[in-house]
């Protein structure tokens, strides 16, 4: 039996919650460390008290938030491997062997379909990895604890794929590395959810923390823009593109917001989810056809393969 609530069930819960207004989850005393963590996550991510209580009473750490942690560990492991292989941790992209890995997206190798997703495991340097990893863990793990690996994985994967496809359409000669597409999808969806439910969100220092999140996103995006237009170490291949960040943001502000706003409800009952999902699918199909036909029709001069 599904643990997702139907719309009719949610309406009944909301109606019954009127009797609970005087009883806040913050008033709970004698909680252990794990229970306090669950309560903290509830106030970080959910705007309605009834949903926070439902989550607090039903969460069991089984399964734990494994997806974001597994992705982060894999990214760190790949970075350390190539750090030792390339003998550098800062600006690994400046190494002539950096793009020879089977992981980054490269326009000359766009027929290798796995590269549209696997590029997230490569980063231009420790400064790139650190910013992405911090945002990924601080935002992604609490969201996964609340919404589950399936929903958060959907938003993350859609952001990653949209990022590489957006680069292949708008910045056709550039490679792509880094997990920014997925990270920006999660962070932008969460920030938009906070803004849309500002009065209901009871997390502490929310204005300051939101400002800090925007600063981190801006710093990372600014670094990516600077690197893209910085003279490449090995021309004619340009430095990695920054457009993947924008693709992730667009996914977060559309599909991601719908997923986060419908906690414990069946997404298949939400018409807005299907609208955004269909628009996303149409974008993917158009980008696939673009990659098949546009490069030859436009006679794009691509950099040589790595």
Label residue 231 exposed, middle or buried (CB < 10 Å: 0-12, 13-18, 19+). Answer: exposed
Q: Is residue 106 annotated as a catalytic residue, yes or no?
A: no
* CA–CA separation, 129 and 220 (whole Å): 10
> What are the φ/ψ torsions at residue 275 (nearest 5 degrees)?
-65, -50
> What are the φ/ψ torsions at residue 203 (nearest 5 degrees)?
-70, 150
Question: Contact at 8 Å (CB) between 250 and 272?
Answer: no
* CA–CA separation, 192 and 203 (whole Å): 15
| DSSP label of 90 | S
Catalytic residue from among 106, 123, 128, 245: 245
Query: How many C-beta atoms surround the C-beta of residue 165 within 10 A?
Result: 25
DSSP letters along 148-216, please? HHHHHHHHHHHHHHHHHHHHHHHSTT--B-SSHHHHHHHHHHHHHHHHHTTTT---TTHHHHHHHHHHH
The helix/strand/coil state of 217 is helix
Alpha carbon separation from 73 to 41, 131, 133, 277 (Å, rounded): 22, 15, 9, 29
Catalytic residue from among 168, 180, 188, 241: 180
List CB contacts of 56: < 8 A, sequence separation 6 or more: 25, 28, 35, 38, 39, 42
Q: Is residue 128 annotated as a catalytic residue, yes or no?
A: no
List CB contacts of 190: < 8 A, sequence separation 6 or more: 45, 139, 143, 252, 256, 260
Enzyme catalytic residues: 180, 245
């Amino acid at each position: 039996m599904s643990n997702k609530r139907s719309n009719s069930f949610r309406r009944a819960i909301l109606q019954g919650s009127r009797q609970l207004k005087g009883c806040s989850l913050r008033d709970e005393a004698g909680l252990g460390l794990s229970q306090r963590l669950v309560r903290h996550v509830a106030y970080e991510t959910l705007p309605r008290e009834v949903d926070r209580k439902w989550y607090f009473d039903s969460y069991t750490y089984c399964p734990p938030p494994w997806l974001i942690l597994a992705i982060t560990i894999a990214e760190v492991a790949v970075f350390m491997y190539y750090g030792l292989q390339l003998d550098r941790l800062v600006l690994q992209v400046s190494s002539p062997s950096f793009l020879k890995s089977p992981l980054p997206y490269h326009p000359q190798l766009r027929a290798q379909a796995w590269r549209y997703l696997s590029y997230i495991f490569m980063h231009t340097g420790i400064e790139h990895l650190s910013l992405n990893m911090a945002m990924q863990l601080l935002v992604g793990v609490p969201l996964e604890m609340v919404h589950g690996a399936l929903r958060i994985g959907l938003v993350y994967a859609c952001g990653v794929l949209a990022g590489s496809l957006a680069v292949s359409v708008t910045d056709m000669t550039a490679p792509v590395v880094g997990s920014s597409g997925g990270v920006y999808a999660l962070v932008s969806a969460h920030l938009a959810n906070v803004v849309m439910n500002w009065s209901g969100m009871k997390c502490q220092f929310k204005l300051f923390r939101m400002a800090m999140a925007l600063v981190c996103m801006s710093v990372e995006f600014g670094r990516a823009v600077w690197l893209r237009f910085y003279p490449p170490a090995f021309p004619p291949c340009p430095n990695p593109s920054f457009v993947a960040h924008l693709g992730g943001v667009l996914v977060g502000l559309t599909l991601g917001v719908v997923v986060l706003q419908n906690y414990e409800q069946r997404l298949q009952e939400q018409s807005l989810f299907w609208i955004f999902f269909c628009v996303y699918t149409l974008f993917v199909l158009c980008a696939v056809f673009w990659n098949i036909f546009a490069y030859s029709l436009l006679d794009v001069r691509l950099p040589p393969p790595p």
